[in-house]
Chain A
Amino acid sequence: MSSLLACTQPTYMLVVEGLVKEFKKGPRIGPISFKISRGGIFALVGPNGAGKTTTIRMLLGIYRPSAGEIYLCGKKVRSLQGVASYVPEESAVYPRLTGYEHLYFYALLYTGDRAHARLLADKAAKYTGLSTRDLKRKVQEYSKGMKRRLLLGIALALETPILVLDEPTAGLDVHSAVHIRNLIKSEAEKGKTIILSSHNMFEVERLADTVAFINKGRIVALGTPRELLEKYSARDLEEAFVKATSR
C-alpha cells in the first residue's frame, strides 16, 4: 500500500472514467470522469444532493458502480477500498473508546501489525493536536471539533496513497481549521493524493489544484481554480460555481 505513495510511472495517480451509479429508486449519478496526479488535491464541489457522496462512495467501493472504470497508478482497480483513508462528513466515533484507542484501532485495521499500528497511532496523535490527557479520555466526552480532529489525525497518519475527506474542516474553530489545512497541504507535498468534498469555497481555493463542480449527478465544470475563474469570468470560485450550476 505504501509503495503506491512512490508511484511515479503514469502521469496520473488516479484516473476515473465514466463512473455511473443507477439506483432502483433515485436519480442517476454520472458519468463522472476526472484525473488526479500524484500529490494532487482534487476538490469535488456541489450543492446538497448533487452526487458528491455517491461519487465518493463509488470510488471507495461502498457502492458498486453500474458502469465506468477506476485506474490507480495506471492499474485498473475495482475501488479504492483498503488503499484510501476516509473521513466522512459525520464524525462517527465509538463513544466508549478513548481517543488513542481510536487511533490504534484504525491503524491496526490498515496495517494488521501491532508494532506498526502503534507507531502510526503515535504519529496520528501528534496530527490531532489533542493533548495526551485528552487522548486518554473516552470520546463520549469530546466536543464535535475534537472528534473531527481525531478522525482527521488518523486519516492523515495512515500510509495510504489516497486520502478522501468529506467537509474536512466543518465544525472546527479557526485555529483547528488552519492546522488541518496545513496538514493536508503538507501530506500532499509528501506525495499523498487527496480528494476532498467541500462547501467551503475559501478552503477549496486555498487547497485544491483541481476543482470539479458537480450538479444533478454530472460534472459541469472541471479545471484548476484559475481556469475556472477565467472560464466563468468570476472574481472567486463561489461566483464561478454559481454561474456554472445556474446554467
Chain B
Amino acid sequence: MDKSGLGRIRALASKDAREFIRDRRTIALMVISAFLFPLLGLMVAGLKTQQKALVAINICDEGAYAEALANLIKEYITKYTPFNTTVVHNASNCGAVPGATVTLMIPRNFSVNASSLGRPVIVRLYKLVGSPAAADAESVINTALSVFSRVLATERVKRLSEIAGLQLNPDYVLEPVRIVSEAVTETGAIASPEAEEKAEIARFLAFAVFFVLNPAAIAVADAVARERESGTGEILAVTPLRGTEFVMGKTLGSISAVAIAGSLDLAAALAYGYAVLAGSTTPISVALFHSLQTILAILVTVSITIFATLLVPGQRTATLLTSLITGTAMLIFFSALFVDIQALPAPIKAIMYIVPYTHTVLAIQSYALGNTVRALEHSLVVVLLSLGLFIGSARVYKPDRLVKR
C-alpha cells in the first residue's frame, strides 16, 4: 500500500472516529450500560438493607429452653438482618402474631420435650405469603435453629453415653460421616483458595461483556449502512478509495468506540468486584484481560457486520443483522452464567464454537482460572475470524454497495 493509500485510510478512520466521539447519546448509553451490572448489584444490596419487617417470637411455654431459644433467635435476627424483633408471651393465642412478617411460635411443653431424651421438639413458623423479607428472616431463623438443635443433640448424646457408661464424642455420633471437599483444577491439582472466587467473578464478568458490547456494536456496526442510506456513500464511491482502504478505514475508525468501550469495561469490572461481590476485588490482570476481550468482541462484531452489509443491500437488513448478532451475543453470554460450555456434548459445543462470543467467554473464564495458554488460544480464534472477515469484506467491496438504489 502506497503513502496516499495510508492517507486515505487515515482520512476515513479519523472521520468515523470524530463522528462517533461526537455522538453523545450513544456514549452516554455506553456509560450507563457499562455500569448497569454493578449498579444493579449495589441497588439490590442497598434496598435489602432498607427492608422493614417484624419478626415476632410468640412464647407459649414457660420453661428455660423456650427463653434460651427466643434469645438466640433475637440475637441472630439483630446481627444478620435489618429487621425488628418482638417477643410475645401469649399463651391464649399460640399462632401467628398479627402484623408480623414472620412469627416463630414456641409451643407449650417445648422445654419439657427439649430436656427429654426421646421426644420431638417442634416450633412453628408463620411467614407472610409472597414476602422476600419473610424468606430472608426464615433463612436466618433456620440457621439459629440448627445451632440450637445441635446444642440439644449434644446434650442428649452426653446423657445417653452416661447411662450406657460409654466414652463418646457427641460429634462422631451426630455426624459419623463427614465430607472434606477441595477444589481442583482440570489437571487434578489442588486449586488455590481464591480459585473458586475467581471462577465466580469470571462467570459474571463474561456476562458483563454484553452490557458494553451491545451499544458499542450498534454504534459502529451500521458504519457502512449509514454511508449508504445518507447518500455520502455515493460520493465516497467515486473517490480514489479502494476496497481494502475502505474496510481498514472503517475498522480503524471503530477503534475509538472500541477504546471507549474497553476503558468503560475495565472501570465497570473493577466496580463490579467492589460493589457486587461485597468487597472482593477483581484482580487487575483479570480486569485488563476482560477489557481486551471486550475490544476483540466488538472488533469481531464490526467485522461481521461490515462483511454482511457489503453483501446485502438496505438499512433494514443491516439493522436486522445487527439485532441478530447482538441477540446471539446475549444468548451466549447469558448461557455462560449458568452453563459450563466445556462440559456440553461435542455436537452442541461444536455449534457454539462457531459463534465468536463463545471464545470470548471461554477466554475470560480460562484466564481467570489461570489457564493463560487456553485463554490466548480462544482470543486467537476471535482475532483470526475478524481478520478473515476483514479480508473477505475487502474482496466483496464494490462501489455500488455504497449507493442507495
Contacts and interface: CB of A to CB of B under 8 A. Distances in A.
B231 A82 contact: no
A81 interface: yes
Contacts of A138: 22
A113 B6 CA distance: 9
Interface stretch (B233-241, B256-264, B349-357): B233-241
B400 A97 contact: no
Interface of B is mostly: helix
Contacts of A97: 15, 18-19
Contacts of B240: 1, 81-82, 109-110, 112
Contacts of B128: none
A63 B15 contact: no
A57 B400 CA distance: 9
Nearest to B10: A108
B12 interface: yes
A181 to B, nearest CB: 21
B239 to A, nearest CB: 4
B221 interface: no
B161 to A, nearest CB: 84
Contact of A94 (B2, B4, B232): B232
A114 interface: yes
Contacts of B5: 112
Given A81-B238, A86-B235, A94-B232, A61 B18 contact: no
A129 interface: no
Interface string B8-26: 1011100100110011000
Nearest to A155: B235
Nearest to B5: A112
B3 A112 contact: yes
Contacts of A113: 3-4, 7
Nearest to A81: B238
A61 B237 contact: yes
Given A61-B399, A62-B399, A63-B400, A88 B234 contact: yes
Interface in A37-86: 57, 60-64, 80-82, 84-86
Interface residues of B, number: 30
Interface in A83-133: 84-88, 90, 92-94, 96-97, 101, 105-106, 108-114, 117
A54 to B, nearest CB: 11
A86 B231 CA distance: 12
B403 interface: yes
B11 A109 contact: yes
B230 interface: yes
B231 A92 contact: yes
Contacts of B3: 112-113
B241 A109 contact: yes
Contacts of B234: 62, 86, 88, 90, 92
A96 B231 contact: no
A106 to B, nearest CB: 7
Given A92-B230, A108-B7, A62 B15 contact: no
Nearest to B3: A112
Given A62-B399, A94-B19, A108 B8 contact: yes
Nearest to B20: A96
Given A61-B399, A94-B19, A108 B11 contact: yes
A63 B231 CA distance: 16
A106 B18 contact: no
A93 B233 CA distance: 10
B244 to A, nearest CB: 14
Contact of B15 (A105, A114, A117): A105
A108 B5 CA distance: 10
Given A90-B234, A92-B230, 16 more contacts: A60-B238, A61-B237, A61-B399, A62-B234, A63-B400, A81-B239, A85-B238, A92-B233, A96-B23, A109-B8, A109-B12, A109-B239, A112-B4, A114-B7, A117-B7, A138-B22
15 contacts: A60-B238, A62-B238, A62-B399, A81-B239, A86-B235, A88-B235, A92-B234, A97-B18, A101-B18, A105-B11, A110-B239, A111-B7, A112-B3, A112-B8, A117-B7
Q: Which 6 pairs, one residue from A and one from B, show the smallest C-beta to C-beta distance? A: A112-B4, A92-B231, A112-B7, A82-B240, A108-B11, A96-B22
